A = this chain, B = another copy of it.
Amino acid sequence: METKVSTTPEDWAATYRRDCPSRTVVELLANKWGLYVLAALRRHGRPMRFSELRRLLDGITQKMLTQTLRALERDGLVTRTVYPTVPPRVEYALTELGVEAGRLTDAIGTWSVEHARQILAARRDFDDRAAIPPQPVGPTGTGPAR
C-alpha cells in the first residue's frame, strides 16, 4: 500500500492468467540466460560480440546463446549488427527497451550476489533441519545414534 505504482490489483490479476501477453515477456526475462545476457550487455555498456558473450557467460553453449539472443532480438530488446568482414563480425547491442529490461535483470543479478551468502546459509540450515532423523517421539534415547 505504501508503494505508489501505477498498476492496480486488477492489472495484477490479469498478469496471472496464463493467456496474459505479459507472461511471455516475463518468461523472456525470467530465464537465466536471458537474464545474464541482458545484465552483461548492460554492464558492459557497449555492444558485444557473440564470442565475447560466449566467453563471458561461463557454461552457456553456442546454441543457447544464439537462441537467447534471437529471442531478445525478436522482442526488440537487442539489435544484431552484422559486419560483413572477412571473419564475420556480429555485434549485439541493447535497444532502449533492452536497457530498461537490463536494469531489472541487472538488479536481480546484483541482489543475488549481495545476498548469496545469507541465502546459502539459510539453505544449509534448512537442509540440516530436514536431515534430522525422524524420531521426535518417545522417551527413548534423547539422541538416537540412529
Assess whether A69 is interfacial by the CB under 8 Å rule: no
Partner of A56, one of B16, B35, B77, B122: B16
Partner of A16, one of B26, B28, B57, B97: B57
Are A122 and B26 within 8 A (Cβ)?
Answer: no
A68 to B133, CA, bound (A): 24
Is residue A73 within 8 Å, beta carbon to beta carbon, of the partner chain? yes
Verify if A25 is at the interface (C-beta below 8 Å from B): yes
What distance in Å separates the Cβ of A101 from its nearest Cβ neighbour in chain B?
7
In the bound complex, CA of A5 to CA of B39 (Å): 14
Q: A25-B116, A107-B107, A114-B5 are in contact. Are A122 and B74 (CB under 8 A)?
A: yes
Chain A residues touching B, range: 35 or more
Would you list 9 pairs from A and B whose C-beta atoms are within 8 A, ordered by A residue?
A: A7-B113, A12-B39, A22-B109, A25-B119, A26-B112, A29-B30, A76-B119, A101-B111, A107-B107
Q: Which residues of B contact A20 (CB under 8 A)?
A: 113, 116
Say yes or no: is A94 at the interface (Cβ < 8 Å to chain B).
no
A145 CB–B CB distance under 8 Å: no
In the bound complex, do residue B43 and residue A118 qualify as a contact, i.e. CB atoms below 8 Å apart? no
Q: Cα distance A75–B127 when bound, in Å?
A: 10
User: CB distance A16 to B29 under 8 Å?
Assistant: no
A121-143 vs B: 1/0 string, CB under 8 Å? 11101110000000000000000
